[in-house]
């Protein structure tokens, strides 16, 4: 029953968060969400053998649609936090083009946003790590009780993904406005 509720929340979070961002941050998230979905599909198909999911509506083997919608919300949240931190810490009005320091803020924000969500998802049984396949051996993070490989993997993913999303978000939104 818990998993059914979580799956429903997972599917509903995209329209809800799209509205929340629009209402409270005056930000159209369509482009970010489309770009995030592309990254999410690539990631989930590439790493499918490494985890077992336990939802019911799946798009590739046991990779669930609700996980994809999770990426569609998580990446924009990371980018929002990263750019906020960037502006506050560096005292800038906006992210400067080609400023490599944004990598640092993406990674820090990514871990701050993703690690708690990862811990919740794993704890509630949404997915399980295939430790027999992964053979992770760096030990566990105190408090979170997650393998150290998880934040390291997120750090690497978040070096790449936010750039793709920033690169295409405006153009994906423009396509929507043209329709």
Partner 1 sequence: MALIFWEVWMYAQVLLVWWLFRRFARRNVAGEMIAGGMIGLFNEFATEPLWDYHLRLNFYKDTPLAIILAWAVMFTLVVYFSETLYKYFRKKQAVQPGDKSIFLFDLAAAVLVSFPIETLGVKTGIWTYRYDKLNWDWGMVPVVNMPWEALFGYCLFMLIGPSFVRAWENTFDAVIPEAGK
Residue for token digits 């369509």? 30
Q: What residues make contact with partner 1 under the rule CB under 8 A?
A: 38-39, 41-43, 45-47, 49-50, 98, 100, 133-135, 152-153, 156-157, 159-161, 163-164, 166-168, 170-171, 174-175
Residue for token digits 């560096």? 90
d(CA 150, CA 110): 12
Nearest distance in Å: CB 9, partner 1? 26
Residue for token digits 């059914």? 4
Residues contacting residue 160 through CB under 8 Å, at least 6 positions apart: none
Q: Output 4 or 176, the one with its CB closest to partner 1.
A: 176
Q: Output 36 or 69, the one with its CB closest to partner 1.
A: 36
Q: Output 3 or 65, the one with its CB closest to partner 1.
A: 65
Q: What angle do CA 34, 154, 165 make, to 5 degrees?
A: 25
Q: Output 43 or 144, the one with its CB closest to partner 1.
A: 43
Nearest distance in Å: CB 131, partner 1? 10
Nearest distance in Å: CB 51, partner 1? 11
d(CA 67, CA 10): 7
Nearest distance in Å: CB 55, partner 1? 19
Q: To 10 degrees, the CA torsion angle through 113, 52, 2, 38? A: 50
């Amino acid at each position: 029953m818990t998993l059914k509720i979580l799956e429903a929340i997972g599917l509903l979070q995209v329209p809800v968060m799209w509205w929340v961002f629009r209402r409270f941050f005056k930000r159209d998230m369509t482009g970010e969400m489309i770009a995030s979905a592309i990254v999410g599909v690539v990631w989930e198909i590439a790493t499918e053998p490494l985890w077992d999911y336990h939802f019911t509506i799946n798009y590739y083997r046991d990779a669930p649609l609700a996980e994809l919608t999770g990426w569609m919300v998580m990446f924009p949240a990371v980018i929002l936090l990263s750019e906020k931190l960037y502006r506050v810490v560096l005292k800038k009005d906006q992210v400067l083009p080609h400023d490599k320091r944004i990598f640092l803020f993406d990674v820090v924000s990514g871990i701050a946003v993703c690690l708690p969500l990862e811990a919740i998802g794993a704890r509630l049984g949404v997915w399980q790590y295939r430790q027999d396949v992964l053979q992770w051996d760096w030990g566990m993070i105190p408090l979170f009780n997650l393998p150290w490989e998880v934040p390291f993997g997120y750090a690497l993913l978040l070096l790449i993904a936010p750039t793709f999303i920033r690169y295409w978000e405006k153009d994906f939104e423009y396509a929507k406005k043209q329709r």
